[in-house]
Amino acid sequence: MTAYVIGQITVKDPAKWEEYRGKIPSTLSPWGAELVLRGTRAKVLSGQHPHTDTVVIRFPDMESVVEWHNSAAYQALVPLRTKAANLDLISCEADL
């Protein structure tokens, strides 16, 4: 079943964030993942949403999500990500 990673982001250091973003695609390809959306918030339609940026990544299945997230390649980027932004990262399985 297709799975997605959704990141809600508030950038703290734009230069570090660009560096981090530039390194992510190479960590995705071994898992058959695809970047679906990178965007900035246009408008909150309901409720509250403190973050300014969103990313959506599609994976073939949840196992691939977990393996990517735990991979040495991605984990090596976590310290840079932490310096660059506040991030809430979730995974979801598609049921459509």
pLDDT digits (tens, 9 = 90+) for 1-40: 999 999 999 999 999 999 999 999 999 999 999 999 999 9
> Is residue 96 pLDDT above 80, yes or no?
no
Whose CA is closest to 21, among 70, 64, 79, 81?
81
Question: Cα–chain-centroid distance for residue 62?
Answer: 14
Query: What ranges do the domains of the chain cover?
Result: 3-42+49-93
CATH topology of domain 3-42+49-93: Alpha-Beta Plaits (3.30.70)
pLDDT digits (tens, 9 = 90+) for 44-94: 999 999 999 999 999 999 999 999 999 999 999 999 999 999 999 999 999
> Which pLDDT score is estimated for 45?
93
DSSP per-residue codes, 6-26: EEEEEES-HHHHHHHHHHHHH
* pTM of the predicted structure, to 2 decimals: 0.92
Report d(CA 21, CA 15) in Å as an integer: 10
